[in-house]
């Protein structure tokens, strides 16, 4: 029985990310499990178990899913950024999560005070995408950043520098609880919808806040582009400025900057790394509510591959 998402340390997430990259690059050749496991530097047994714990499906099932997606996209008559994303097996129309997320800006007074009189509770915890630093104020989550091994102290220092007058209190249990709510909702939609909204309390310029709000509205439904975001905020010629605002996003995943792709559907420019972006897109695209149909998907994978080869 699937009891929830697998939260991984940075080492195990790195293994998953390498395997996702390998599958996306080689799915046309339908690699065997041994080859996929070797890309992650694990035995077949240990890799199969790790991948299934993370994704809820086996590597071969994920490969079949990528193949079928690519075949459908290649046969589509009207190209789009979403179809381009399908072609590399990255994403689909499934929602990012079922959380209700609200975005609030800090007040001018809070910004001027630089955190004076404010307590920020923070902690470092595992997530499905490696270790992350989460921080909250009484008004809501203000920071979610992925961290690499050896950078924890620097990441906490950067958080403190962004609110130099605030009191920082470390609470790993609180951070783990927030992470459980954020990523647990991806497999517990009914519970997530019944929960109160998850509030984000962030600071930024008016333009950044407009972009982040547009990301919540557009990016939460699937891949989008910098140009689409620029149009959404009423500045169709400001794609580069939008890109800078996306890069300054203080709350990864929930403000889904990982869903912003280039116009041709390619990855690039994600602040937390291309491998992590690829893994996020793959993870959120998996049809958690349709696992009973995986056997059927696998039976049709060979036919999908043949159609893909004919289309290309």
Domain 10-83+288-311 has CATH 1.10.10: yes
**Sign of torsion over alpha carbons 132, 215, 198, 55:** negative
Same fold, 10-83+288-311 and 101-281: yes
pLDDT (0 to 100) of residue 172: 95
Active site residues: 257
Q: What is the pLDDT of residue 310?
A: 54
The per-residue pLDDT for 1 is 41
Q: How much is the pTM?
A: 0.79
**What per-residue confidence (pLDDT) applies to 301?**
42
Burial of 109 (0-12, 13-18, 19+ CB in 10 A): exposed
Nearest-5° Cα angle at 260, 257 to 266? 135
Segments of the chain scoring below 70 in pLDDT = 1-6, 71-99, 185-195, 287-312
Residue 74 has a pLDDT of 56
Handedness of CA 82, 5, 273, 96 (dihedral sign): positive
What CATH class is the domain 101-281? mainly alpha
> Across the strands, what pairs with 119?
167
Which pLDDT score is estimated for 88? 45
What distance, in Å, lies between the first and last C-alpha atoms of the chain? 39
Domain residue spans in the chain? Answer: 10-83+288-311, 101-281
At 258 the pLDDT is 92
With vertex at residue 12, the alpha carbon angle to CA 9 and CA 13, rounded to the nearest 5 degrees, is 80
H helices within the chain, ranges in order?
A: 10-26, 33-39, 44-55, 59-75, 81-87, 108-113, 152-162, 172-184, 189-194, 206-218, 226-232, 239-247, 274-285, 294-311
Cα–Cα dist 183/181, whole Å: 6
């Amino acid at each position: 029985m699937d009891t929830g998402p697998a939260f991984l340390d940075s080492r195990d997430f790195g293994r998953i990310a390498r395997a996702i990259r390998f599958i996306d690059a080689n799915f046309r050749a339908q690699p065997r499990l041994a080859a996929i496991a070797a890309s992650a530097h694990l035995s077949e047994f240990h890799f199969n178990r790790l991948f299934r714990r993370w994704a809820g499906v086996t590597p071969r099932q994920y490969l079949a899913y990528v193949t079928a997606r690519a075949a459908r996209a290649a046969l589509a008559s009207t190209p789009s950024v979403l179809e381009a994303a399908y072609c590399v097996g990255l994403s689909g129309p499934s929602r990012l999560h079922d959380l209700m997320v609200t975005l609030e800006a800090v007040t001018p007074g809070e910004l001027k005070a630089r955190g004076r009189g404010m307590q920020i509770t923070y902690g470092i915890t595992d997530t499905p995408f490696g270790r992350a630093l989460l921080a909250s104020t009484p008004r809501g989550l203000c920071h979610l950043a992925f961290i690499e091994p050896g950078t924890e102290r620097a990441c906490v220092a950067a958080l403190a520098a962004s609110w130099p007058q605030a009191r920082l209190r470390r609470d790993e249990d609180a951070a783990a609880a927030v992470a459980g709510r954020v990523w647990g909702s991806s497999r517990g939609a009914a519970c997530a919808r019944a929960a109160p909204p998850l509030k984000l309390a962030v600071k930024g310029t008016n333009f950044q806040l407009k972009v982040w709000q547009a990301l919540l509205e557009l990016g939460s439904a699937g891949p989008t582009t910098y140009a689409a975001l620029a149009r959404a905020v009423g500045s169709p010629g400001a794609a580069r400025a939008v890109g800078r605002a996306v890069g300054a996003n203080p709350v990864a995943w929930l403000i889904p900057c990982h869903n912003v792709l280039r116009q041709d559907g390619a990855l690039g420019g994600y602040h937390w790394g291309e491998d992590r972006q690829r893994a996020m897109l793959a993870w959120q695209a998996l049809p958690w509510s349709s696992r009973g149909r995986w056997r059927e998907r696998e039976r049709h994978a060979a036919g999908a591959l043949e159609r893909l080869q004919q289309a290309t």
